[in-house]
């Protein structure tokens, strides 16, 4: 139970630090947010819980392929905001696009031999 609490607290601290950085230095906050810190922590936790190289390799490869459909969100949201769309609407549209692209990746990926 303590292990789960530590994992959750550390992950939460990273998110809080990124948001505080972004308030003062938007570019630097974006740089830190773009780092795969959560992915790296996830890999560390997974390896600690299940040190299996094949499982880790499958996890990391799937993570790579799932990052790709999330990237257009980072273009859509600022485009909408710059056109006067409200933040919550732009965020919702970006999340909806990402979810749709995730489903597309799940449908198309295996046809190309991707193990997702």
pLDDT digits (tens, 9 = 90+) for 6-19: 988 988 898 899 99
Instruction: Kindly state the DSSP code that residue 91 receives in the 8-state scheme.
Output: H
Looking at the structure, tell me whether residues 14 and 64 fall in a common domain: no
Domain that holds residue 115: 53-116
Instruction: Kindly state the DSSP code that residue 116 receives in the 8-state scheme.
Output: -
Do the Cβ atoms of 23 and 31 come closer than 8 Å?
A: no
Q: How far apart are the C-alpha atoms of 74 and 62, rounded to whole Å?
A: 20
Model pLDDT for residues 16-53, shown as the tens digit of each residue: 999 999 999 999 988 888 889 889 988 999 999 999 99
Looking at the structure, tell me whether residues 57 and 27 fall in a common domain: no
Question: The whole model's pTM is what?
Answer: 0.79
Looking at the structure, tell me whether residues 57 and 35 fall in a common domain: no
Looking at the structure, tell me whether residues 110 and 59 fall in a common domain: yes
Q: How many domains does the chain have?
A: 2
Looking at the structure, tell me whether residues 46 and 57 fall in a common domain: no
């Amino acid at each position: 139970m303590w292990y789960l609490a530590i994992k959750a607290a550390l992950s939460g601290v990273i998110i809080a630090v990124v948001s505080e950085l972004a308030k003062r230095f938007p570019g630097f906050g974006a740089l830190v947010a773009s780092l795969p810190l959560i992915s790296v922590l996830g890999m560390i936790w997974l390896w600690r819980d299940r040190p299996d190289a094949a499982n880790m390799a499958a996890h990391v490869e799937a993570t790579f392929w799932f990052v790709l459909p999330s990237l257009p969100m980072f273009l859509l949201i600022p485009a909408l905001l710059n056109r006067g769309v409200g933040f919550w609407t732009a965020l919702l549209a970006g999340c909806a696009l990402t979810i749709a692209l995730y489903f597309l990746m799940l449908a198309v990926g295996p046809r190309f031999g991707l193990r997702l």
